[in-house]
Amino acid sequence: MTRSPVQIDWTFDGLWPYQPRYFTTPEGRCAYIDEGPRSTHAVLLLHGNPTWSFLWRHAIAALISAGQRVIAPDLLGFGRSDKPNRLDAYTLERHVARLLALWQALGAQQVSLVVHDWGGPLGLWWLSASHVSLRRLVVCNTFSPVLPGRLGQTPALKLARFVSRSRFVADYLYRRRHLMLRDFLFGGGTAHHTALTAQVRTAYRAPHLHAEDRAGVLAFPLQIPRTTSEPIAQQSADVARELRETLDAVPSLLLWGMKDYLFDATTLDSWIEFLPRASVVRIANASHYVQEDAPQKVAFVIAEAIL
């Protein structure tokens, strides 16, 4: 039986006024927005799981108002990008390869990078592989720069690692139950989840209405390394060593929701050790999805940091 397509107003009553552009990859089409002046410098905003570029809507508006070119991709499997139902399409290496192809096609020569959640390791790996000129770095509630790092101390990530040992359990929780959305983004991952409006919730549900659409959501937690000997952890350490001097030479900002039980204060401390010259903005009454808990403050701080 063929499932009837669901008609979605992707503007969500004006919350998302941007039209997607698309580029083709071996695994499927990827959506992105490219707004503002056609500058050779661009602000690249990278989301994580289970969000999409909609997460950055307030920051995008603030950056455009400040005269910045803004590029915000939807990773494959998220947002308006295609959602192939096979896990090998969603390795970190393949996500990075697609980001490299997108950046090369856009003609930008200098970047200010803003990352959140899985956008953190993806962004650092992409910087290492692209050798693009970096102007600014903004890091929001993401993994320790060297994996697995101190993040292994949080009970939530210990549980995520344990769950991921069983593909059956992981498939049920992340794909069938949609735990990342229902229990994290709409639960403990936001300090003010009851304040999320119906349209905001609709916007986050829209890309993954069916379990078959959630292979990308499932693939990320399956890749969380348990030990430093795993390939992802080794690559993370290599990238961190390679980028340390580069990152230390540019203005950087650590913007953190302090109620995050996934990436708690110990994870922030590991970033401070890695980037000792970085400015730090702690938002006390915000959790993992700091962009939803303190939207106007986050937008203002990011725009100010980029200028």
pLDDT in tens, 162-184: 666 777 888 999 999 999 999 99
pLDDT at 51: 98
CA distance 304 to 306: 5
Q: What is the pLDDT of residues 151-161, one digit of tens each?
A: 555 666 666 66
Q: What CATH number should be reported for the domain holding residue 203? A: 3.40.50.1820
- Spatial separation of the C-alpha atoms in residues 160 and 163, rounded to whole Å: 5
Predicted confidence at residue 150, as pLDDT, reads 62
What's the predicted TM-score (pTM) here? 0.95
| Among 129-133, 154-158, 244-248, 298-302, the least confident range | 154-158
Q: Give the pLDDT confidence score for residue 1 in this predicted structure.
A: 43
- pLDDT at residue 267 greater than cutoff 80: yes
**What number of other Cβ atoms are within 10 A of residue 82's Cβ?**
18
Q: How far is CA 96 from CA 89, 108, 207, 299, in A?
A: 11, 17, 21, 26
Q: Kindly report which listed range (117-121, 162-166, 196-200, 271-275) carries the lowest average pLDDT score.
A: 162-166
Number of domains observed in the structure of the chain: 1
Does residue 4 fall inside a structural domain? no
What's the domain range around 160? 21-306
What is the rounded average pLDDT of the residues 277-299? Answer: 98
Residue 41 pLDDT exceeds 50: yes
In-domain check, residue 8: no
Q: Determine, yes or no, domain membership for 11.
A: no
**Is 14 within a domain?**
no
Q: Which of 56-65, 109-118, 258-267 has the lowest mean pLDDT?
A: 258-267
Is the residue at 12 inside a domain?
Answer: no
Q: Is residue 13 part of a domain?
A: no
Point out the residues that are catalytic: 117, 260, 288
Does any domain span residue 250?
yes
What pLDDT is attached to residue 298? 98
The predicted pLDDT at position 154 comes to 64
Position 238 in a domain: yes
